[in-house]
Amino acid sequence: MPRAFRSLDNYNYRLWAIGALVSNVGTWMQRTAQDWLVLTGLTHHNASAVGIVMALQFGPQLLLLPWTGWVADHVDQRKLMMVTQAAMGVLALALGALTVAGIVSLWQVYVFAFLFGCASAFDAPVRQTFVAQLVGDADLPNAVALNSTSFNGARMIGPACAGLLIAGVGTGWAFVVNGLSYVAVLASLACLRKGELHAHPRTHGSGGGHGMLDGVRYVRNRPDLLALLAMLFLIATFGLNFPIYIGTMAVSVFHTDARGYSLLSSTMAVGSVVGALLAAGRERTRFGALVVGAGAFGAGCLLAALSPGYLWFAAALALTGVAALTFTNTSNSLIQLSTEPAMRGRVMALRLGIALGTTPLGAPIVGWVADHAGPRWALGVAAASGFAALAVGMRYLALARRQTGNAQPR
């Protein structure tokens, strides 16, 4: 098997990957349908409403941060994921039932987004660190990259399926399909060979918010992690708001239907898959790749903002997808490989809190910019975030080289 797919030699990882792929397709179907429902069904092209939905869905990553990382380091991760995945499946089915029945309203979407976000806040750090139990540290970067390949491969399939489903039978059925897709990941978790898992030590210190403070102190003493998280904050807050960028460009600038909108989301996913496969083929993960990814992200968003037509915009999205995946994948691998195993859950919760939980800060802002200045200016904000992150990364590299004389800092 090619080196880029070496983690698939592992039975547990292979089983997990199959279940995750099915679930990821459903997740992207729901995301596409939810944004389209809010943008065209419950409002009149209101980007701020989409921003509020994103804020409610990702806000719990920060709101529940004192507990999510501690839980990830102290509980049976496989059992916790079975609970969180089942909860998200039930929520998707309930939202689907309301939408199919034609009685869904905007406030209900807000409530479901928040509840889904709460379940995801406990699921995400566990799901990220559980990969190390499946394959061990040696193949961790490869497994992380393959996870991203699966997630973004589903991003090509899910929006396209959602567009066809919305056009054919209605938005609600995309939520129903997503709810049913969780059966696959639950089955894969139930069938894992528990004796072949690579167990990591569990900590027994203080719990809840006090335990999370240990993670904050750990990061505070790591200049490389501080620089990484600062870069992630900039891009996650103001850059990774593509439901707003793509949705507003699709309906306000290019005047497309649901299929045209979903095709743009799938096109960006093509670039993300390319970026994930490139990452999977790397033997080592370096901070320099993070800096390159940040700069390329800024350039891709700038090109998207300046695109004169639909096809040019789609091409710019593909480039941006490669850059965004390079950046996010590298941040994930660097943190997991350079963090003590007993601290991984809490440090990864910090990363996810920043990567997803800062959306409540950025999404309403870029939504407001899109509504009042136009979607191209909102993409300009995203481009600026990439270039600002590039500056932070360059500064860290310069200081590290000055202090250690090593051209390849940690």
What does the block give as tokens for 39? Answer: 């943008």
Mean local confidence (pLDDT), 111-120: 94
pLDDT recorded at residue 331 = 85
What is the band of 151 on the pLDDT scale with cuts at 50, 70, 90?
Answer: confident
pLDDT recorded at residue 135 = 80
* Of the ranges 34-48, 227-241, 280-294, the best mean pLDDT one: 227-241
pLDDT digits (tens, 9 = 90+) for 47-99: 788 888 888 888 887 788 778 777 777 788 889 999 999 999 999 999 999 99
Residue 334 has pLDDT above 50, yes or no: yes
Mean local confidence (pLDDT), 9-36: 90
| Residue with the larger pLDDT of the pair 312 and 144 | 312
Residue 206 has pLDDT above 60, yes or no: no
What does the block give as tokens for 266? Answer: 């799938």
Cα(386)–Cα(300) distance, rounded to whole angstroms?
9
| Residue with the larger pLDDT of the pair 364 and 128 | 364
Class of domain 3-404: mainly alpha
Residue 346: count other Cβ atoms within 10 Å of its Cβ.
30
pLDDT recorded at residue 199 = 67
Mean local confidence (pLDDT), 373-400: 93
pTM of the model: 0.70
pLDDT recorded at residue 281 = 63
pLDDT digits (tens, 9 = 90+) for 164-205: 898 888 899 999 999 999 999 999 999 998 888 776 655 544
Q: Are 262 and 250 in contact (CB under 8 A)?
A: no
The torsion region of residue 208 among left (phi > 0), alpha (psi -120 to 50) and beta comes to: left
Cα(230)–Cα(327) distance, rounded to whole angstroms?
13
Which residue, among 299, 298, 326, has the nearest Cα to 386 in the 3D structure?
A: 298
pLDDT recorded at residue 82 = 93
pLDDT recorded at residue 157 = 84
Residue 3 has pLDDT above 80, yes or no: no
Q: Worst-scoring range by mean pLDDT, 104-108, 202-206, 351-355?
A: 202-206
pLDDT recorded at residue 291 = 93
Which residue, among 121, 122, 98, 102, has the nearest Cα to 110 in the 3D structure?
A: 98
Mean local confidence (pLDDT), 248-263: 82
Mean pLDDT of the chain: 84
> Going by C-beta distance under 8 Å and a sequence separation of 6 or more, which residues neighbour residue 256?
250, 264, 310
